[in-house]
Amino acid sequence: DTAVSQTPKYLVTQMGNDKSIKCEQNLGHDTMYWYKQDSKKFLKIMFSYNNKELIINETVPNRFSPKSPDKAHLNLHINSLELGDSAVYFCASSQDSTGGKETQYFGPGTRLLVL
Amino acid sequence: SQQGEEDPQALSIQEGENATMNCSYKTSINNLQWYRQNSGRGLVHLILIRSNEREKHSGRLRVTLDTSKKSSSLLITASRAADTASYFCAISGGYNKLIFGAGTRLAVHP
């Protein structure tokens, strides 16, 4: 059973399109995250939700909008895709964001290529 | 920049040798974490060390933390070919926000 799963695994799309990436965790965790890894392997936090509440919102374009319908899911919607959005997007979850429960478990990543 | 900076960027060793990777950072932290990433895969958590801890062990892994020097090291003893991967340190601040370094690419040759 995959603890943190993402769909799709690969996404190739044209500039200007709107796309969504889905993430689900079956670990019963309260906190979920989205990270972006660029072509140089640099990982950067984008968003975090704790119990469906947004707690981290880094400086990312408004075209990126996370949505957490419940604690087990955190989706990422991207409007008007640009070439620079090409990257690997990782979802992660942790039991909580504090109190000895911070270990983050990562999904396999979604490889987005914008043409 | 708050991010952890890792050294060396790349490390190539023979099986059985020890591998040491270093991480430096600039801000105060709640904890520091090490992750491994195999090529084309997600990240796997290795060790979390809190700001009031100096050393932690997990199997063949040993992590040290020196908050006065704002640095950490990851030692892998008796390395194996399967240890070939990229290793990232990440500093954790409020809300468990992880700020990652650029990583060290480790190649272990049989």
Residue A93 CA, chain-centre distance (Å), reads 10
Task: Tell me which residue in B37, B88, B95 faces A56 most closely, judged by beta carbons.
Answer: B95
Q: How confident is the model at residue A77 (pLDDT cuts 50, 70, 90)?
A: very high
Task: Tell me which residue in B41, B86, B92 faces A108 most closely, judged by beta carbons.
Answer: B41
State the Cα angle at A75 between A111 and B35, rounded to 5°.
55
Contact B42 A44 (CB under 8 A): no
Q: What is the pLDDT of residue A18?
A: 97
CA distance B35 to chain A (A): 10
Q: Collapsing DSSP states into helix, strand and coil, what is residue A102?
A: coil
**pLDDT tens per residue, range B20-79:** 999 999 988 889 999 999 988 889 999 999 999 999 999 999 999 999 999 999 999 999
* Contacts of residue A10, Cβ cutoff 8 Å, sequence gap at least 6: A110, A111, A113
Total beta-carbon pairs less than 8 A apart between chain A and chain B = 58
Question: How far is residue A52's CA from residue A71's CA, in Å, rounded to a whole number?
Answer: 6
Task: Tell me which residue in A40, A43, A98 faces B96 most closely, judged by beta carbons.
Answer: A98
Contact B100 A107 (CB under 8 A): no
